[in-house]
Amino acid sequence: MIPFTDEELVGPVKITLEKVRPGITADGGDIKFIAIKSGIIYVQLQGACVGCGSSGSTIKHGVQKQMKIDIHPELLVRNLPIGMENDIEGFEKEYQSHQK
């Protein structure tokens, strides 16, 4: 269990996003903070990262790994597709159904 509320995570998450942003922008992309729900951090890869085959690795081995190092080892990061910003719950249900 993550010992922080979603609200308490916002500041540290934004700091870590700024830490990983240079590596993402160097490849022509960007990353935007969307929300935190139940300890899951939702971001949106943008620019050249949209549709890139390496975007999953960027999230898991770059962004999520750094969040776990900087903040807490149980944090999860999800890349929210463009257009899903107002339906995080629907996105999460679909994401979970694909993990089974």
Predicted pLDDT of residue 76: 97
Query: Rounded mean pLDDT of 6-32?
Result: 97
Q: Given 3-state DSSP classes, what are the helix, strand and coil percentages for the chain, each rounded to the nearest 5?
A: 50, 20, 30
CATH 3.30.300.130 fits 6-99, yes or no: yes
Predicted pLDDT of residue 99: 85
For the chain, percent of residues with pLDDT exceeding 70? 100
Per-residue pLDDT reduced to its tens digit, 66-100: 999 999 999 999 999 999 999 999 999 999 998 87
Q: How far apart are CA 10 and CA 35, in angstroms?
A: 8
Provide CB contacts within 8 A for 82, sequence distance 6+. Answer: 44, 46, 50
The ranges assigned to domains in the chain are: 6-99
Per-residue pLDDT reduced to its tens digit, 9-20: 999 999 999 999
